[in-house]
């Protein structure tokens, strides 16, 4: 039965066209944005995971920057400690030379005095971004190493710590007062060694053979402590470098994982787009045919 009031064929064709247009719009959005899941309504679970991981990746980017800053601090401290070791070795050589008979110890002390001042200059200059790891009070220096999210969703920032020790066997050249002034009476170089004073303050002008021997002993002890401190700094520097590489790789992995969740498959979407455009044209043609069928009824009333 054909009715001029209810065109069932046109209604069916129109419904089909609407469905195709909706699918086409979604496909065009995915093609233009590159995302399969762009908003929560596309897939709430995947969108939530992707949003959280993108946020974590931004935190990792900040960790990478902090690692670079920490590496600069450690490298500065290591360079200062290495230079100080060279200066102490020079002082050691001068003291050994002073053991020879006939050597003017006053002249030798003038040279040693310049080297002692150089040690102070090294300690004062070894500051990066307001932090000095070779001259400081007892305490802990920290470098951000990573950002962690555990299985329960709790987040935390982990650090690599370096404990400053101002004793003669510690790991700083000099101590530091609470006001930020170098304290020349503590640290490897500043701590007194018996009656001869510290490496920084000793004056060999009047030293006899016993004092010279004690001076050499204190120099050796200082070199041992400084070598140990330089080794610690080198180890931290290596760890930071490894962590930088790991954070970079981890960030790439997170980007890749998020992409697998939410990125559109462009080959698939391209083929869908072509198919839907064809279906749209056919649906329009079908609707046109359904609408024209009503016009055919007019021929029945023509004379």
Residues 214-271 pLDDT 10s: 999 999 999 999 999 999 999 999 999 999 999 899 899 999 999 989 888 888 888 8
Residue 111 maps to a domain: yes
164-191 residue pLDDT tens: 999 999 999 999 988 889 999 999 999 9
Q: What are the residues whose beta carbons fall under 8 Å from the beta carbon of 211, sequence distance 6 or more?
A: 195, 196, 204
- Could you tell me if 272 and 126 lie in one domain? no
Backbone angles phi, psi at 224, to 5 degrees: -65, -45
3-state SS assignment for residue 135: strand
pTM recorded for the entire structure = 0.77
Return the pLDDT at 88: 96
Specify whether 142 is located in the same domain as 272.
no
Question: What domain range is 68 assigned to?
Answer: 44-262
Whether residues 184 and 286 fall in one domain: no
Phi, psi of 172 (to 5 degrees): -125, 150
Interacting residues of 171 by C-beta distance below 8 A, sequence separation 6+:
163, 164, 165, 188, 225, 228, 229, 232
Question: In this structure, are strands 175-176 and 182-183 parallel, antiparallel, or unpaired?
Answer: antiparallel
According to DSSP, the β-strands at 139-149 and 175-176 are unpaired
CA distances in angstroms from 141 to 161, 177, 239, 281, listed in the order given: 6, 16, 15, 70
144 and 124 together in one domain: yes
Helix axes 105-125, 44-98, angle to 10 degrees: 170
Q: Same domain, yes or no, for 289 and 256?
A: no
The C-alpha angle 48, 51, 56, rounded to 5 degrees, equals 125
Check whether residue 229 and residue 274 sit in a common domain. no
User: What is the domain count for the chain?
Assistant: 2
CATH code, domain with 206: 1.20.1330.10
Same domain, 114 and 252: yes
Percent of all residues in the chain with a pLDDT value above 90, rounded to a whole number: 52
Alpha carbons 238 and 25: distance in angstroms, whole number: 53
* Per-residue model confidence as pLDDT tens digits over 95-131: 999 988 888 999 999 999 999 999 999 999 999 988 9
Shared-domain flag, residues 105 and 75: yes
Residues listed for the chain: 303
Helix H or strand E encompassing 159: strand 155-164
- Pair (282, 218) in one structural domain: no
């Amino acid at each position: 039965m054909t009715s001029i009031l209810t065109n069932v064929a046109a209604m069916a064709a129109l419904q089909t066209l609407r469905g195709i247009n909706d699918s086409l719009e979604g496909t065009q959005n995915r093609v233009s944005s590159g995302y399969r899941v762009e908003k929560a309504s596309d897939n709430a679970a995947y969108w939530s995971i992707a949003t959280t991981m993108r946020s974590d990746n931004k935190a990792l980017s900040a960790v990478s920057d902090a690692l670079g800053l920490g590496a600069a601090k450690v490298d500065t401290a290591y360079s200062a400690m290495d230079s100080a070791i060279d200066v102490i070795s020079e002082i050691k050589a001068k003291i050994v030379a002073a053991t020879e008979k006939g050597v003017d110890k006053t002249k030798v002390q003038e040279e040693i005095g310049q080297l002692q001042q150089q040690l102070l200059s090294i300690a004062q200059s070894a500051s990066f971004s307001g932090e000095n790891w070779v001259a400081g009070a007892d305490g802990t220096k920290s470098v951000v190493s990573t950002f962690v999210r555990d299985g329960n969703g709790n987040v935390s920032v982990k650090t690599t710590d370096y404990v400053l020790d101002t004793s003669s066997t510690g790991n700083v050249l000099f101590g530091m007062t609470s006001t930020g002034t170098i304290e020349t009476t503590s640290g490897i170089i500043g701590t007194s060694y018996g009656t001869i004073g510290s490496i920084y303050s000793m004056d060999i002008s009047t030293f006899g053979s016993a004092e010279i021997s004690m001076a050499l002993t204190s120099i050796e002890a200082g070199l041992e402590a400084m070598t140990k401190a330089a080794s610690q700094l080198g180890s931290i520097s290596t760890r930071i470098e490894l962590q930088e590489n790991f954070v970079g790789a981890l960030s790439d992995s997170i980007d890749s994982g998020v992409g697998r969740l939410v990125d559109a498959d462009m080959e698939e979407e391209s083929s869908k787009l072509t198919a839907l455009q064809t279906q749209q044209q056919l649906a329009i043609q079908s609707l046109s045919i359904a609408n024209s069928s009503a016009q055919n009824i007019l021929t029945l009333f023509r004379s």
